[in-house]
Amino acid sequence: MKFLDQAKVYIRSGDGGAGAVSFHREKYIEFGGPDGGDGGRGGDVWLEAVDGLNTLIDYRYQQHFKAQTGVHGMGRNRTGAKGADVVLKVPVGTQVFEEDNETLICDLTEVGQRFRLAAGGNGGFGNQHFKSSTNRAPRRANPGLPGEEAWVWLRLKLIADAGLVGLPNAGKSTFLASVTAAKPKIADYPFTTLHPNLGVVRVNAREFVLADIPGLIEGAHMGVGIGDRFLGHVERTRVLLHLVSSREEDVAAAYRTVRGELEAYGHGLDEKPEVLALSQADLLDEDERTEKLAALREASGTQPLLLSAATKEGVEGVLRALMRFIEEARTEEAGAEIVDDRWQK
């Protein structure tokens, strides 16, 4: 199944049904009066976040979604039925933007969240609605109101606790495969990862979700390489794991390249907590390890960790460091929710 994280769709809610013009006809009732019913309301267009989806691929093959028109009113004061709604089911983490692809309409971050994108038109009044003391037999009814229509963008941002960033071939996919059950493509050439991958990490009887995105190169924010279009998938993370490959001649320059791209992208990515690790450490001897760790420490201003996903060296320490940041963020969020609940009460 292909990964698709952006789609443009056309939505239209249903028109309201027309009201009816009708008069009561019954034996022995000479002046039955008007009995035209109202039209039914048009169907709505809803967006719903559901479990089990992780891509917008369904919206590559169908881009038009139209709700049903309300049923017209009928005689004997019968109101028309409401038109059937249309529900667009999307993965958790989907955002909806207006046609300009910049104005945010809604953001669904939890399973079961729903949002009405377009309301159906109201049904028209039947002639029984216009009966009055001076007009006992009205012969007019209202048509139903038209529904709403629009082109909107669906954009998926995966929800994960931690995100992997780094240059191509920094060992991100190897690390993901070694600590989760995910099976990303791994090969010894750049850009083997072409779309984000998710995996669940278990450490100290606790779990968190780890996201791996395609590697960044210098100029990614201007579209070089795969560009920065997948950085949105780590916007929601609580902490970033920045991997710098020990095969780099200048690890400090490699670190600064990725940090520069994060700053150029913005959206708060460069302000997120970061765990820095020198990956593929099994390729270095002791002197090289000391030298490259010192260079990385000088460039970053923090103490980098040593990591080898192939030999499992340092893996547990990296996971514990990530878990520490994640637990702190979860505690802060829980405290904020409690304060908010007290304020609402």
**Per-residue confidence (pLDDT) for residue 53, from 0 to 100:** 84
Q: What are phi and psi of 211, to 5 degrees?
A: -115, 135
- Closest among 132, 129, 156 to 140, alpha carbons compared: 129
Question: Which are the contacts of 274, defined by CB distance < 8 A and separation ≥ 6?
Answer: 239, 240, 241, 242, 302
Whether the per-residue pLDDT at 186 is higher than 80: the answer is no
Average pLDDT, stretch 225-254? 86
Report percent pLDDT > 90 for the chain.
56
**Per-residue confidence (pLDDT) for residue 148, from 0 to 100:** 97
Whether the per-residue pLDDT at 209 is higher than 50: the answer is yes
**Per-residue confidence (pLDDT) for residue 195, from 0 to 100:** 75
Q: What is the mean pLDDT of the chain?
A: 88
Average pLDDT, stretch 218-233? 71
b/e per residue, 110-137, with b = 16+ CB within 10 A?
eeebebebbbbbbbbbbbbbbeeeeeee
Q: Which of 3-12, 40-49, 287-296, 318-327: highest mean pLDDT? A: 40-49
pLDDT in tens, 101-114: 999 999 999 999 99
The structure's pTM equals 0.80
- The answer to whether residues 145 and 16 touch, using CB atoms and an 8 Å cutoff, is yes
pLDDT in tens, 100-146: 999 999 999 999 999 999 999 999 999 999 999 899 999 999 999 99
